[in-house]
Amino acid sequence: MDATTSTGASSSMPLHLIIDDALALVSPLQQSFQRSQRHCFGDTAPGEFPLAANPSIVLHVLTSCNLEPDDLAHLEASSEACCRREKSQAIAGPGHSIAVTTSGAVYTFGSNNSGQLGHGSLEEEWRPRIIRSLQGIRIIQAAAGAGRTMLVSDAGRVYAFGKDSFGEVEYGNQGSRVVTTPQLVESLKDIYIVQAAIGNFFTAVLSREGRIYTFSWGNDTKLGHQTEPNDVQPHLLAGPLENIPVVQIAAGYCYLLALACQPSGMSVYSVGCGLGGKLGHGSRTDEKYPRLIDQFQTLNIQPVVVAAGAWHAAVVGKDGRVCTWGWGRYGCLGHGNEECESVPKVVESLINVRAVHVATGDYTTFIVSDKGDVYSFGCGESSSLGHNTITEGNNRHTNVLSPELVTSLKRTNERVAQISLTNSIYWNAHTFALTDSGKLYAFGAGDKGQLGTELVAQQSERGTPERVEIDLS
DSSP letters along 323-363, please?
EEEE--GGGTT-SSS---EEEEEE-GGGTTS-EEEEEE-SS
How far, CA to CA in Å, does 414 sit from each of 127, 405, 410? 22, 14, 7
CATH architecture assigned to 21-468? 7 Propeller (2.130)
Cα(179)–Cα(446) distance, integer angstroms: 24
Give the angle subtended at the CA of 189 by the CAs of 226 and 196, to the nearest 5°.
65
* Short-list 322, 303, 438, CA closest to 377: 322
pTM, entire model:
0.82
3-state secondary structure of 260: strand
For the chain, state the CA radius of gyration: 21
HSE-CB at 397 with a 13 A cutoff on CA atoms is: 5
The per-residue pLDDT for range 201-260, each reduced to its tens digit, is: 889 999 999 999 998 754 444 555 545 555 668 889 989 999 899 999 999 998 999 999
The per-residue pLDDT for range 82-121, each reduced to its tens digit, is: 443 458 999 999 999 999 999 999 999 999 999 999 999 9
What residue segments make up the domains of the chain, in order of their start? Answer: 21-468
Residues of the chain scoring pLDDT < 50: 1-59, 62-65, 67, 72, 74-85, 168-174, 218-221, 226, 389-393
CB contact burial 76-115 (16+ within 10 A = b; e otherwise)? beeeebeebbebbbbbbbbbbbbbbbbebbbbbbbbbbbb
In one-letter notation, the amino acid at residue 406 is: V
The per-residue pLDDT for range 169-183, each reduced to its tens digit, is: 433 444 567 899 999
